[in-house]
Chain A
Amino acid sequence: MAEPALSGPDAAWAVRLRGVTKTYDSGVTALGPLDLDVVSGEFVSLLGPSGCGKSTALRLIAGLAAPSAGTVELAHHGAERRGSHRVGFVFQEPTLMPWANVRDNVRLPLKLARPAATDADARIEAALDQVGLADFAAAYPRELSGGMKMRVSLARALVTDPDILLMDEPFAALDEITRFRLNNDLLSLWRNLHKTVIFVTHSVFESVYLSQRVIVMTARPGRIGAEFRITSSEPRGEEFRTSAEYAAFCREVSGALAPSYAGQAGA
């Protein structure tokens, strides 16, 4: 796929989707057409009912699947191509290699890179430090809790220092206490590391808590139904969860989400 180099006034965008659709071999259209611009350094949530294609959108952006129509563009620096380590991906499951310890799991992207990274060990230590797992480098995945496995997954995505972090319902399987803690840790990572984050979730509360912008998607085929800018007195913390403005945003976003569910049986 030919990708234009960045120049001039366009320099702000990090991800740009134009008329993107995804139709499966079965003839089911899962997504689109979808137009989306994500600004560099922005935290955007894609919010929608299950099956609305939000995970598909993320996989298209990551290059894990090809769009049936339309273009997916990622802003990039120098000669690096899409699908290389400019993108970090965090799956809903921790998706760790059970036969490798934490350090080697985090090492994977560096090991696969060609040419191999020379400062791998230092970068691994730094990434583990960022997610608070420095003491668990030698542990095996089965010895870790669900939240810690997710932290390893996050460290693995961060170890290549990607510009864009794609997260596919990463905390959906965790208990609420762990999820809240990881939400806060993710927010401070985002503030410190200046990444562009695209965060897929089906939780209104999570999307409002984390994002600068919430994009509500319609039921299949997924399109953009509504968009909300979430403003708050940053930095956000636990007190934001109980604030009146948070509640108001949640009510507003929930209202926009309702039509997505209206057509669905049993929803």
Chain B
Amino acid sequence: MKSPQDLVRFLLPLAVFAAGLVLWEAIVRAYGIQPYVLPSPLLVLRTLVADWPVLSQSLGVTLLTTLEGFIAAAVGGVVLALLFNQSKWLEYSLFPYAVVLQVTPVIAIAPLLLIYLQQQTAVIVCAWIVAFFPVLSNTTLGLSSVDRNLAGLFQLYGASRLQTLLFLKLPAALPYILGGLRIAGGLSLIGAVVAEIAAGSAGAGSGLAFRIAESGYRLNIPRMFAALLLLSLAGIVIYGVLALVSHLLLRRWHESALGKDN
């Protein structure tokens, strides 16, 4: 926070958030709205604390699924893009199917996956399906955005394909890859949530999305909100961590990570 303007940019959304909560609380109290219709923010918070043992376990399950889906998407997306970059034939053969997988709504695929795969595997596959495409397309774009003259220089000095890949294409593609990963982080959470809702099974291994569905059936609306709050926070943290990693990796050289005064 360097200048007063930065401070305002930081505080303004917080102020809006606080005002929204106060208004919400006031309306619930003024009209005497029942908790099973709309719980007040304070009640949601109390529920979060009271149900923490259940909710934290579910949060752990969902985060683990998200992480597994994200890693699968990151590795799968980058590796596929590298293969496409090395072989045009492979790209022409497979890229359309990557697009098909991307444009088909995952909520429609999830029930099918649950038939053929074990539940835990199906959930991870769902997270992967939603999240891998931005990694693939961004990495593909990055690998083909190499400066033409730099590529000529590598050719001039007799660089091998591997050298060109490691020392030129991958570093040049890094900002694009990181951009894809930032999108994939949020998407793998969405994929995990969609699959959990589609699976809809109870038990110790139930994620946050299952808790939301379950609380809905039981009209435990405060817990629904509490679980939603946790999901939302998880999404924000995932995005924040990936943005930080991206910044740390690019800060020495890439435009996106440089301040305006540089």
Please list the residues of chain A having a beta carbon within 8 angstroms of any beta carbon in chain B: 59, 62-64, 83-85, 87, 89, 91, 93, 95, 97-100, 108-109, 111-114, 140-142, 160
Q: A64-B156, A83-B156, A112-B157 are in contact. Are A142 and B149 (CB under 8 A)?
A: no
Pair A111/B158 contact, Cβ less than 8 Å: no
Pair A99/B153 contact, Cβ less than 8 Å: no
Measured CA separation A158–B150 after assembly (Å): 16
Pair B258/A142 contact, Cβ less than 8 Å: yes
Min CB distance A97 to B, Å, is 7
Pair A99/B157 contact, Cβ less than 8 Å: no
Pair A99/B253 contact, Cβ less than 8 Å: yes
Q: Which residues of B contact A140 (CB under 8 A)?
A: 252-253
Measured CA separation A85–B154 after assembly (Å): 11
Pair A89/B252 contact, Cβ less than 8 Å: no
Q: Which residues of A contact B262 (CB under 8 A)?
A: 142
Pair A85/B152 contact, Cβ less than 8 Å: no
**0/1 interface trace, chain B 143-157, chain A, CB 8 Å (1 if under):** 000010110111111
Q: Which residues of B contact A113 (CB under 8 A)?
A: 157-158
Measured CA separation A89–B156 after assembly (Å): 8
Min CB distance A153 to B, Å, is 10
Name B's interface SS.
Answer: helix
Residue B120, interface by CB 8 Å: no
Q: A99-B174, A142-B262 are in contact. Are A63 and B156 (CB under 8 A)?
A: yes
For B156, B167, B172, the residue with the greatest tally of chain A CB atoms inside 10 Å of its CB is B156
Measured CA separation A232–B60 after assembly (Å): 80
Closest A residue to B163 by beta carbon equals A112
Q: A98-B253, A140-B252, A141-B253 are in contact. Are A112 and B147 (CB under 8 A)?
A: no
Q: Which residues of A contact B149 (CB under 8 A)?
A: 91, 93, 95
**0/1 interface trace, chain B 220-262, chain A, CB 8 Å (1 if under):** 0000000000000000000000000000000011100010001
Partner of B154, one of A63, A98, A112: A112
Instruction: List 6 tightest A-B contacts by C-beta distance, closest first.
Output: A95-B149, A112-B157, A98-B253, A91-B149, A99-B171, A112-B159
Min CB distance B152 to A, Å, is 5
7 A–B contacts, CB within 8 A, in A order: A89-B156, A91-B149, A97-B150, A109-B157, A112-B154, A140-B252, A141-B253
Q: Which residues of B contact A100 (CB under 8 A)?
A: 171
Please list the residues of chain B having a beta carbon within 8 angstroms of any beta carbon in chain A: 147, 149-150, 152-159, 163, 167-168, 171-172, 174, 252-254, 258, 262
Measured CA separation A93–B156 after assembly (Å): 16
Measured CA separation A99–B147 after assembly (Å): 13
Pair A142/B167 contact, Cβ less than 8 Å: no
Pair A142/B158 contact, Cβ less than 8 Å: no
Known A89-B152, A97-B171, A112-B154; 13 more pairs at CB < 8 Å:
A83-B156, A87-B156, A89-B156, A91-B153, A95-B147, A98-B254, A99-B174, A99-B254, A108-B167, A109-B157, A112-B163, A113-B158, A160-B157
Q: Which residues of B contact A114 (CB under 8 A)?
A: 158
Q: A84-B158, A142-B258 are in contact. Are A108 and B253 (CB under 8 A)?
A: no
Q: Which residues of A contact B159 (CB under 8 A)?
A: 112
Partner of A112, one of B152, B158, B253, B254: B158
Closest A residue to B174 by beta carbon equals A99
Min CB distance A150 to B, Å, is 13
Pair B152/A64 contact, Cβ less than 8 Å: yes
Q: A93-B149, A140-B252 are in contact. Are A108 and B171 (CB under 8 A)?
A: no
Measured CA separation A100–B153 after assembly (Å): 15
Pair B155/A64 contact, Cβ less than 8 Å: yes
Partner of A95, one of B153, B167, B252, B258: B153
Closest A residue to B175 by beta carbon equals A99
Min CB distance B254 to A, Å, is 7
Q: Which residues of B contact A89 (CB under 8 A)?
A: 152-153, 156
Q: A91-B149, A95-B147, A112-B159 are in contact. Are A142 and B253 (CB under 8 A)?
A: yes
Min CB distance A101 to B, Å, is 8
Q: Which residues of A contact B152 (CB under 8 A)?
A: 59, 64, 89, 91
Closest B residue to A110 by beta carbon equals B157
Measured CA separation A91–B147 after assembly (Å): 12
Pair A108/B153 contact, Cβ less than 8 Å: yes
Q: Which residues of B contact A93 (CB under 8 A)?
A: 149
Closest B residue to A168 by beta carbon equals B149
